[in-house]
Copies of this chain bind each other. A is one copy, B any other.
Amino acid sequence: MKPFFELQALCPVTGARAGRIHTDHGTVPTPNFMPVGTQATVKTLSPMQLEEIGADIVLANTYHLYLRPGTDLIDEAGGIHRFMSWKRPVLTDSGGFQVYSLSDLNRICEEGVEFRSHLDGSSHFLTPENIVEAQAKIGADIIMPLDECMPWPVEKRYAEDSTDRTSRWALRCRDALGPVFRHHDYRQFLFGIVQGSTFEDLRRRNAAELVEMDFPGYAIGGLAVGEPKRQMLDLAELCAGLLPAEKPRYLMGVGFPEDLIRSVERGVDVFDCVMPTRNARKGTLFTREGRLVVKNAAFARDSSPVDARCGCPTCRRFSRSYLRHLLHVKELLGMQLASLHNLYFYLDLMRELREAILEGRFPQFRDDFFRDYRMASD
């Protein structure tokens, strides 16, 4: 049997790596980006469209699925792949982040976290054990342990207590069903999540503890929550360097195209972010020259595609003018075509990064990218 992660190439100059994550629903070449499918759907797009633009894996949110349609329902449907008709790999987060950001009330104790649903006010209590159970039922190929994603900035005393508790929760998650288990008829892999806010010593200690627990892969959590971009990149690099080379590294919730390249450079393999889809729905599109606010009146009569160099279904067939019209009059097709483009942009960028690493020309690719790309101000 193939190993879970296969490291294929290392950039001789930077920390960039290329590899493959093998799951029972197929292989995810890395570096890669996971479109966010919060409620078992990547907003506005069908699985057919995700296949067409070459998505290798999608992320779904345990918090949302736990509330609606419920984990038992997805379990009965045979797991999330069958439920949403997506045959390739899926990753679910633990729901921890949403508990803190979305729920009406939450109370953390050693045992777990209590929260009230943002939908109907009902009370729920998540524990490391029942969150693994919920994700086992949902049936993603890669699942996450319960953790606390701290706000930034946070006092060191709180950060230390939180990081240590998250570490104890990770162990309880691992011990619930093991680091690799089967609930459906395929394997599910549990990752560890490195926390520690922006405190280097906490990050070091937490990473060491998690490595000791021997997870199949590791996530770097608690970043991109407001800290300066420079600090985010430094901490991602620090964490990546503390994690075993032979396991995949997933930087949670990041980010802009430039952040992805800068993080790949620092040894990160996998990303997820609502950036491409959320921006698309609001009319901001990514191009190799930077961001294009296609909703602006300036594009009302522009018959050129969003990005002349792009091969996505939107750029192959539609003009900026038509896209601007659809978004302006609030037609859903506008959000669909914009989402297709932005996700294609992210996925295509990852494909090119991968090839560049495999062919030993990552630094050149990075420099070429940044020469053309006008970054947004941090």
Contacts and interface: CB of A to CB of B under 8 A. Distances in A.
Interface of A: 39-41, 43-48, 64, 68-69, 73, 76-77, 83-85, 300-301, 303, 313, 317-319, 321-322, 325-326, 328-329, 331-333, 335-337
B336 A332 contact: yes
A135 to B, nearest CB: 18
Interface centre among A39, A64, A84, A333 (most CB of B within 10 A): A333
B317 A47 contact: yes
A86 to B, nearest CB: 10
Given A46-B336, A313-B48, A300 B331 contact: no
Chain A interface helix/strand/loop/mixed: loop
8 contacts: A41-B326, A41-B331, A43-B331, A44-B336, A45-B333, A73-B321, A77-B301, A77-B321
Contacts of A85: 317-318, 322
Given A68-B325, A318-B85, A331 B301 contact: no
Contacts of A313: 46, 48
Contacts of A335: 332
Contacts of A64: 329
Contact of A46 (B76, B83, B337): B337
A84 B322 contact: yes
Given A46-B337, A73-B325, A76-B301, 13 more contacts: A39-B325, A41-B326, A43-B331, A43-B332, A43-B333, A48-B313, A48-B317, A68-B328, A69-B325, A69-B328, A83-B321, A85-B317, A332-B336
Interface centre among A48, A313, A321, A332 (most CB of B within 10 A): A332
A85 B322 CA distance: 9
A340 to B, nearest CB: 9
